[in-house]
Structure 1
Amino acid sequence: MMHDVANYDPYFVQRRDATGRVGLSTEQKLTCAMRQLAYGVTADFFDDYMDIAESTAIEILEHFTRAIWNVYHEHYLRRPTPTDLRRLLDKTTERGFSGMIGSLDCMHWQWKNCPTGWGGQYTGYKGKPTIILEAVASYDTWIWHAFFGLPGSLNDINVLGQSLLFNDVSRGETPQLQARWAIIRGPARGWSKENLQFIMMTCIILHNMIVEDEHDEDAAEPFDPNDIPTIPKKAHIYDRIPDQDTSVHRNPNRLNQFMCRYREVRCPVMNKNLQDDLVDHLWSMKLQADENDQ
């Protein structure tokens, strides 16, 4: 990763200044960025620890997150390949959730430095301004879909209604941590929403890197050269463009199915029935496990 980032952005290459003094090394800059992401330390922490000024630490993090996004997003934020889908469906069927690819959830990231004028829009049930991340993760915690940037005043159903996840479903397409990265466990200290977006996506990419590295190689299927991946698709960083033409060509039958499912998602009765079915299913699995233990 160090070589990839340095090859992409010359900022990370060690240089001499006008006086001939050697600047920060690539290792120092990456260590500074990774410690901010992994431990959530503030930028002024590095003044004594690594002799890096606060403004320089912030600059390093900005360059690092953009480099990680541009170098790795096509692989680590891709949609599932046919082999991926077969593996996911086989595993969920084995666990009693036939047809399920992953779990969908929304996370609220507190925004400490939210501009005062935006406070009402971004303040929801938590009582503090937050930014929402919608993500779909499979059983091995690999994140296949990420949608970040919506204000915290929205609930999960509102977020799902605006997410590109449903747009892909309506076209008949398949959809494309928090514990590992302390920077998103604490409040966001940045002022710029754009920087926060790149930080979040960087954490997701690095998370998927770790999942890939820790994957059980014995359980992995052999490489299939005929398994052509779907076209890489960037995880969406929310940016509302009112004048953008969002019309798509849809199959009428598929659109009707999509609208029926969308209404079911927003139906309180359906939500309650799904919750009851899930509780009953988990309870029956627990009873079965207890019987097997006996």
Structure 2
Amino acid sequence: MGAEWCPEDPSDDSGRTRYGGLNRACFGLLPRHLAEVLVAIPTEHIFLPTDVRADQARRPQPYLALPGRGKRPDFMASIDILEGIQVRSFEGTQSSDTIYLVIGPFKCIDNDPLIAREGEYLVETEACKSAHAEPRLYKWSPKGSLRDVTREYLPKPAMTQAEQALTAPFMPYLETTKLDHAPVMRWTIPLKDASPTSRADAYDDDPVPMPDWVPETKRLGNGLHLGFVVWNGKSFELRQRAPRALWPLPNCDLLRPDVRCRENDRARVEHQDPFVDKDSSRQPRRMTR
């Protein structure tokens, strides 16, 4: 694919095996279709000038080729702008079905002093000074323009009124940490105590006890599991469960082996997940809504 460098030795632990937040990525000029998406995002969406993004598209970046559902692979790239921008393609069974996920400074936080500043992008533009990362989905229209299709394509999790009251004021969080392995994301929401406290040893993010009335089909540590979001070649499906192939253990991607993955690794115990099936041949069920 024209990369300047790709990891070849599975035992290579030189520090480049996780580059730009991607596991065992190649390094080189972006695949053309990812570069075109990065440049075409409307400035009013992402707050970064087009020329800044175009300049980075002409520079080598870390990226991965992944198995997909189309004629070409899916690709995922990490672009070195501010805190980093991630772009991932989800190839469709038809080329016109292809969707692009972009995670970048889409959420301006200038007018909300209560939002934590951790991880903020200092975009310093006239429209916005500081922004937080947010996922957006884009698709090329038949006329050749890039459209934001997030509301149309990203299925939202269903929550009861009791669950909303339990987790308020927090909103569901879309976990994207497995996207450099498989076309899957996950909706979760934490149970945290957001009330003021006078205890010196307390933290704002202390978890609250899990109520007895929360069903096992929602319990995930100190939070709620709201479903996996899986690409099927035409759309994203919300599913209750996922096979291990879609939600692999850390460092255990069979396509890009890593010496840190061990059969008896403690991670296999620490990362037990009640919603992931060990048998990858088991077909996950769709989540009822």
Structure number having the greater helix percentage = 1
Structure number having the greater strand percentage = 2
| TM-score range relative to shorter protein | under 0.3
Greater CA radius of gyration, 1 or 2? 1
**TM-score relative to the length of structure 2:** 0.25
**TM-score relative to the length of structure 1:** 0.25
